[in-house]
Amino acid sequence: MKRHFGVIKILGEFQDKKLPVLLISNHISWWDGFWSMYLNVKVLRRKFHFMMLEEQLRKFWFFNYTGGYSVNKKSKSIIETLNYTNDLLTNPGNMVLIYPQGEITSMHQQYFIFEKGMERILKNKNNVQLIFQVNMIDYFSAKSPGIYIYIRDFSDTVTDNSNLQENYNTFYKQCIDNQNKLRQSL
């Protein structure tokens, strides 16, 4: 990653509660999984798992060997995938990455609408450490882009899917404000 990005910064704190980690992140590029894996290696230190669209996992089959598992939003098998996710989140040594908006979106998108299905995972949220991740890319005055990975623990404040979406969007706006302040400090 250091070959492609001039700066890689993790902004925020992680207090390890010795629980499985559910990582909720924005999905702005092909790089997102690598940034989350970087965060996992540097901070979270769990076995890495991530949900990926079935057709994409068929195309990039090698992700099966890096913790990827499939979801087909148009099939009844989605229940099996959500149950599998819940099973993964019973082991405190695991981390599961989910992009709840369900697809790659523009990095300029200001508001995220989450797909259904998160409520089934949130049922067991008391036994999971819920971490929000926001990835932002900026060049500022550098020749190559920097990646800024913002994280925050939201385990205690999320109650349902709409509350999750609202909390994530609030955090996202705070990250934009922080990114603008960071720019001003350079």
Q: What is the pLDDT of residue 96?
A: 97
User: Which helix (DSSP H) or strand (DSSP E) does residue 164 occupy?
Assistant: helix 161-185
Q: Order of strands, edge to edge, in the sheet holding 21-25?
A: 7-11, 146-153, 129-138, 21-25, 94-98, 47-53, 68-71
Is 2 a domain residue? no
pLDDT string in tens for the chain (186-residue length) = 888 999 999 999 999 999 999 999 999 998 999 999 999 999 999 999 999 889 888 998 898 889 999 998 888 888 999 999 999 999 999 999 999 887 788 888 889 988 888 888 887 667 899 999 999 999 988 899 999 999 999 877 677 888 899 999 999 999 999 999 987 776
Count of all residues that appear for the chain in the document: 186
CA angle 66–28–45, rounded 5-degree value: 40
Is 142 a domain residue? yes
Q: Kindly report the pTM of this predicted structure.
A: 0.92
Total of domains in the chain: 1
Q: How far apart are CA 98 and CA 167, in angstroms?
A: 16
Q: How far apart are CA 73 and CA 75, in angstroms?
A: 6
Q: What is the pLDDT of residue 103?
A: 79
Q: What is the pLDDT of residue 84?
A: 94
Is 1 a domain residue? no
Locus of tokens 């550098």 = 142
Is 138 a domain residue? yes
Pairing of strands 129-138, 146-153: antiparallel
Q: How far apart are the first and last CA of the chain?
A: 23
Q: What is the pLDDT of residue 56?
A: 87
Tokens of 134: 């926001």
Is 34 a domain residue? yes
Q: Which domain holds residue 46?
A: 7-185
Is 23 a domain residue? yes
128 in Cβ contact with 90 (< 8 Å): no
Is 62 a domain residue? yes
